[in-house]
Amino acid sequence: MGEIELVCTELGPALELLRGSGFRLDVIYPADSPSTAILTKNGATVRLTSEPGAALSDVLPPFEPDFVLTRASDGGGEGRAGMLYRDLIPSRLGGRYIASHIRIPQGGPVSDWVHYHRVRFQMIYVRSGWVRVVYEDQGEPFAMRAGDLVLQPPEIRHRVLESSPGLEVVEIGCPALHPTFAEHEMALPNGRGDPARSFSGQRFLRHVASDTPWTAFLAGEAQETGMDAATGGLAQVRTIRSTGAPLAFAPHRGELVFGFVLGGSARLDYRGEHAIGAGDCFAMPPGQQWTVSGESTDFQLLQVTTAALD
């Protein structure tokens, strides 16, 4: 049988109707605001979509640098598995990157399933609360807490199990539009497996903030994460805190230059002065100098940069 396309006004209710009639969900995208799902039943395939004509591409979109500043007060909506998503880079830098502030207000078990993503780069950083997760070949489920981070290498199977009330994470992925595949054959945990396994040249990384020392960085301090080694030089991630002096950032010669204010307040100096506070986010064009100054004593910043992917 061939694929049948069904067009709906809202994906969620139509998706539940098909699943209730015995269809199996195989693919859904995008994660932050699902519009398309592929389901199968007895050899039949249905492409259910609220955006007919929209299609995935295997070609990485061209990087389009831009200065982006989003505020904590900017709105969001419900995404995959009932999680609340706030778009941190609305321009998507040409479709190259997506950054999301994800919240689970109530906590408890998460209606997730074993799945994987077809991505070039994907990381999750916990801003507040805790979340219990499990990953392919990485042993038993574990809890991530504020300041912790994981690198999700391409196509690693994983599942979100439960969270505390008020969980907040920052997720960054490349490309911006990528599919989520349901894994129907593998149950997790799958034993100890192979913790050092390579997934398309990357290895799983679990950074635990409570085990990581603060070291000198610019005029402040930082917790380094080991992201550079885990990605083979593709990305760097650190948590930065102020010691009271301005933080002057040199030009970055890769692609993504991303900052998320974890707490406190400061002034961002780039193309003018911008007051920034907890929950605010920015992306810088590469090759530019910028400064953070006037930091409060509790100021902390998540910084993510990537190499030139081309």
CA distance 133 to 152: 12
Burial zone of 214 (CB within 10 Å; 0-12 exposed, 13-18 middle, 19+ buried): middle
Q: Is residue 195 part of a domain?
A: yes
* In a shared domain, residues 204 and 215: no
Residue 192: its pLDDT value, please? Answer: 81
* In a shared domain, residues 29 and 101: no
Q: Is residue 33 part of a domain?
A: yes
Residue 78: its pLDDT value, please? Answer: 64
Give the residue numbers spanning the domain of 37. Answer: 3-49
Pairing of strands 235-241, 149-151: unpaired
Strand, coil or helix: what is 16?
Answer: helix
Residue ranges of the chain with per-residue pLDDT less than 70: 1, 76, 78-82
* In a shared domain, residues 184 and 261: no
Main-chain dihedrals φ then ψ at residue 79, nearest 5 degrees: -115, -150
Residue 1: its pLDDT value, please? Answer: 57
Residue 81: its pLDDT value, please? Answer: 56
* In a shared domain, residues 145 and 108: yes
Residue 74: its pLDDT value, please? Answer: 77
* Number of domains comprising the chain: 3
Q: Cβ(109)–Cβ(165) under 8 Å?
A: no
Q: Is residue 197 part of a domain?
A: yes
The pTM score is 0.94
Out of 209, 233, 257, a domain closes at 209
Q: Is residue 62 part of a domain?
A: no
Residue 79: its pLDDT value, please? Answer: 60
* In a shared domain, residues 97 and 40: no
Cβ neighbours of residue 17 closer than 8 Å, sequence gap 6 or more:
none
Residue 137: its pLDDT value, please? Answer: 97
